[in-house]
């Protein structure tokens, strides 16, 4: 059915359809960027939230990120360029009883790559509340990019919360605080 629709629209116009634009933009993705953000870092955080926040807020953060990136490169085959440690930045802040670590990611090129990730945790007597919040690059049907606010669960579930704030550290922090 979808192929028929694609052929129909291609026969009617020489312009790209929205689906063609999305397909092309998805091919621009850096697979390492996606895998690091949406799988490896998320799993590390949910398994060891306090340790992950502490090391990413320490002088050892680049060594740690380098080790995690090497694991990423060894885990998947990709022609994508490797990520540079120089393109990462971290910012620790506390809000209410929450410990938060914001990670500025290498600039996203394709849809679903993250501009930033925020690791959020709060320890209570009986539980540890953990949230993994991302600000991702979205692409609309006209090929225009916009920030998308998302949250990833420990089980890999993905919640899309719609258009997010501008991909500036201060705007993302403000939005995180509104959510807590």
* Confidence (pLDDT) at 12: 42
Mean pLDDT over all residues of the chain?
Answer: 85
pLDDT given at position 15:
52
pTM (two decimals):
0.84
What confidence tier does 125 reach under pLDDT thresholds 50, 70, 90?
confident
Per-residue HEC secondary structure of 73-118 comes to HHHCCCCCCCCCHHHCEEEEEEECCEEEEEEECCCCCCCCCEEEEE
pLDDT at position 2 over 90: no
What's the pLDDT score for residue 59?
Answer: 95
Q: DSSP states of 24-35 as a string?
A: HHHHT--HHHHH
The mean per-residue pLDDT over the stretch 37-46 comes to: 93
Instruction: Yes or no: say if 56 and 121 are a contact pair by the CB < 8 Å rule.
Output: no
**Residue 10, pLDDT above cutoff 70:** no
Domain that holds residue 73: 2-8+17-78+85-179
Element (H, E) at 61: helix 61-75
**Average pLDDT rounded to a whole number, residues 46-61:** 94
The total of structural domains in the chain comes to 1
Which residue is it, tokens 């340790």? 51
- Which band of pLDDT confidence, cut at 50, 70 and 90, is reported for residue 22? very low
């Amino acid at each position: 059915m979808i192929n028929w629709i694609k052929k129909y629209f291609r026969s009617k116009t020489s312009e790209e359809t929205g689906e063609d634009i999305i397909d092309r933009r998805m091919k621009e993705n850096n697979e390492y960027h996606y895998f690091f953000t949406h799988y490896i870092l998320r799993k590390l955080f949910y398994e060891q939230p306090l340790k992950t926040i502490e090391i990413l807020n320490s002088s050892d953060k680049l060594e740690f990120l380098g080790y995690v990136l090497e694991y990423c490169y060894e885990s998947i085959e990709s022609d994508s360029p490797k990520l540079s440690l120089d393109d990462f930045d971290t910012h620790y802040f506390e809000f209410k009883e929450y410990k938060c670590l914001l990670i500025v990611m290498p600039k996203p090129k394709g849809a679903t790559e993250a501009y930033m990730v925020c690791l959020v945790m709060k320890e209570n007597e009986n539980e540890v509340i953990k949230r993994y919040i991302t600000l991702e690059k979205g692409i609309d049907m006209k090929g225009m990019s916009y920030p998308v606010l998302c949250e990833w669960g420990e089980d890999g579930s993905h919640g899309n919360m719609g258009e997010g704030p501008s991909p500036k550290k201060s705007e993302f922090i403000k939005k995180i605080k509104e959510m807590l």
